[in-house]
Amino acid sequence: MRRVRGIGITAAVMACGLVLAGCGDPPAEEEEGGSSEEAFQACMVTDTGGVDDRSFNASSWAGMQAAAEEGDNIEVDYVASENEQDYEPNLSEYAEQECGLIVAVGGLMADALTVVAEQNPDQQFAIVDALVDLPNVYSMQFNTAQSSFLAGYLAAGMSQTGVVATYGGMNIPPVTIFMDGFVQGVEHYNQTQNASVRVLGWDVASQNGTFAESFTDATQGQAITETFVGQGADVIFPVAGGAGIGTATVAQESNGSLSVIWVDIDGCVSLADYCDVFLTSVVKNISDAVRDAVLAAAEGEEGGSYIGTLENNGTFLANYRSDVPQELQDQIAQLQEQIIAGEIEITSPSQP
Amino acid sequence: MTSSTVADSGAAGPSTGDGPGRRSIGRAVIDAVTTANSWMVTILAILLAFVVGGVIIVLSDPGVLRRFEYFFSRPSDALEAVWESVSGAYSALLRGSILDPEDLREAIAGEEPWTEVFEPLSETLTYATPLILMGLAVALAFRAGMFNIGVEGQAVLGALTAALAGFGLSLPAGLHLVVALLAGIAGGALWGLIPGWLKARTGAHEVITTIMLNYIAGSLLLYLINLDGIHHPERNDAISKPVYDTALLPRLAGDQLRLNLGILIALLAAGGVAWLLQRSTIGFEFRAVGSNPDAARTAGMSVGKTYVLVMAFAGGLAGLGGASVLLGIATSSALTPAIIGGIGFDGITVALLGRARPWGVVLAGLLFGALRAGAPGMQAVADVPVQMVTILQALIVMFIAAPAFVKEVFRLRQSRAGALGQTLAKGWNG
Domain boundaries, chain A: 39-142, 144-284+322-341
A13, A94, A349: residue with CB nearest B236: A349
Q: What is the pLDDT of residue B421?
A: 39
Which residue in chain B is spatially nearest to A42 when comparing CA positions?
A: B380
Predicted complex ipTM exceeds 0.85: no
Report d(CA A47, CA A104) in Å as an integer: 8
Domain membership flag for residue B376: yes
* Neighbour tally for B72: CB within 10 Å: 16
Contact A173 B325 (CB under 8 A): no
Cα B318 to chain centroid, rounded = 10
The count of CB pairs under 8 A between chains A and B is: 128
User: Residue A44, SS3?
Assistant: strand
Q: Which CATH number is associated with domain A39-142?
A: 3.40.50.2300
For A17-26, write each residue's pLDDT tens digit: 445 455 666 6
Residue B222 belongs to domain spanning: 118-384
A39-142 and A144-284+322-341, same CATH topology: yes
Q: Name which of B46, B379, B409 to mutate to probe chain A: the one with the most chain A Cβ atoms within 10 A of its Cβ.
A: B379
Contact A84 B383 (CB under 8 A): no
Domain membership flag for residue B275: yes
Task: Name the minimum distance, in Å, from the CA of A216 to any CA of chain B.
Answer: 16
Q: Name which of A41, A85, A109, A120 to mutate to probe chain B: the one with the most chain B Cβ atoms within 10 A of its Cβ.
A: A85
Q: What is the pLDDT of residue B376?
A: 87
A23, A24, A171: residue with CB nearest B226: A171
Report d(CA A279, CA A158) in Å as an integer: 9
Q: What angle do CA B219, B334, B184 make, to 5 degrees?
A: 70
Average pLDDT, chain B: 85
Report d(CA B301, CA B284) in Å as an integer: 10
Task: Specify whether the CB–CB gap between A150 and A237 falls below 8 A.
Answer: no
Most confident of A11-25, A96-110, A273-287: A273-287
Report d(CA B66, CA B235) in Å as an integer: 49
Task: Specify whether the CB–CB gap between A243 and A215 falls below 8 A.
Answer: yes
Residues in chain B within 8 Å Cβ distance of A83: 338, 341-343
**Does position B227 have pLDDT exceeding 50, yes or no?**
yes
Contact A17 B339 (CB under 8 A): no
Report d(CA B36, CA B355) in Å as an integer: 9
Q: Report the pLDDT averaged over residues B330-337.
A: 90
Which residue in chain A is spatially nearest to B239 when comparing CA positions?
A: A108
Report d(CA B209, CA B202) in Å as an integer: 12
Average pLDDT, chain A: 86
Contact B343 A83 (CB under 8 A): yes
Sign for the pseudo-dihedral over CA of B11, B15, B17, B20:
positive
For B140-188, write each residue's pLDDT tens digit: 999 999 999 999 999 999 999 999 999 999 999 999 999 999 999 999 9
Q: Report the pLDDT averaged over residues B96-108.
A: 90
Residue B280, C-beta contacts closer than 8 angstroms, at least 6 positions apart: none
**Does position A33 have pLDDT exceeding 60, yes or no?**
no
Which of left, alpha, beta for B19 (phi over 0: left; psi -120 to 50: alpha)? Answer: beta
Contact B380 A77 (CB under 8 A): yes
Residues facing A167 on adjacent strands = A238
Contact B376 A86 (CB under 8 A): yes
Report d(CA A248, CA B28) in Å as an integer: 50
Most confident of A15-19, A23-27, B21-25, B132-136: B132-136
Of A12-21, A245-254, B101-110, B132-141, which range is least confident?
A12-21
Count of CA atoms in the C-beta half-sphere (13 A) of A224: 30
Q: What is the pLDDT of residue B302?
A: 92
**Does position A326 have pLDDT exceeding 50, yes or no?**
yes
**Does position B75 have pLDDT exceeding 70, yes or no?**
yes
Which residue in chain B is spatially nearest to A44 when comparing CA positions?
A: B380
State the pLDDT confidence band at B22, using cuts at 50, 70 and 90.
low
Report d(CA A328, CA B40) in Å as an integer: 75
Q: What is the pLDDT of residue B30?
A: 65
Report d(CA B106, CA B116) in Å as an integer: 9
Task: Specify whether the CB–CB gap between A66 and A286 falls below 8 A.
Answer: no
A25, A94, A349: residue with CB nearest B70: A25
Domain membership flag for residue B50: no
Identity of the amino acid at A72: D
Report d(CA A262, CA A244) in Å as an integer: 8
Domain membership flag for residue B203: yes
Q: What is the pLDDT of residue B15?
A: 39
Residues in chain B within 8 Å Cβ distance of A9: 51
The residue with greater pLDDT, B405 or A110, is A110
Residues in chain A within 8 Å Cβ distance of B222: 213
Cα B386 to chain centroid, rounded = 18
A5, A107, A171: residue with CB nearest B409: A5
Domain membership flag for residue B40: no
Q: Which of A330, A324, A351, A104 is nearest to A235 (CA)?
A: A324
Task: Specify whether the CB–CB gap between B151 and B352 falls below 8 A.
Answer: no
Q: Give A144-284+322-341's CATH code, choosing from 3.40.50.970, 3.40.640.10, 3.40.50.2300, 3.30.70.2500.
A: 3.40.50.2300
Residues in chain A within 8 Å Cβ distance of B339: 84
Residues facing A25 on adjacent strands = none
Going by their DSSP bridges, the two strands A40-45 and A305-308 should be labelled as unpaired
Q: What is the pLDDT of residue A1?
A: 39
Contact A96 B116 (CB under 8 A): yes
Angle between helices B358-382 and B387-401 (to 10 degrees): 150
Residues in chain A within 8 Å Cβ distance of B341: 48, 82-85
- In chain A, the DSSP E strands lie at 40-45, 74-79, 101-105, 125-128, 137-142, 163-168, 198-200, 202-203, 208-209, 235-239, 259-264, 278-284, 305-308, 315-317
Neighbour order of strands in the sheet with A278-284: A198-200, A163-168, A235-239, A259-264, A278-284, A315-317
Our count of domains for chain B comes to 1
Q: What is the pLDDT of residue A301?
A: 85
Residues facing A198 on adjacent strands = A163
Contact B341 A171 (CB under 8 A): no
For B350-363, write each residue's pLDDT tens digit: 998 888 899 999 99
Contact A88 B69 (CB under 8 A): no
What are the CA-CA distances from residue B82 to residues B56, B58, B70 (Å)?
Answer: 11, 6, 14
For B279-297, write each residue's pLDDT tens digit: 999 999 999 999 889 999 9
Contact A89 B123 (CB under 8 A): yes
Domain membership flag for residue B122: yes
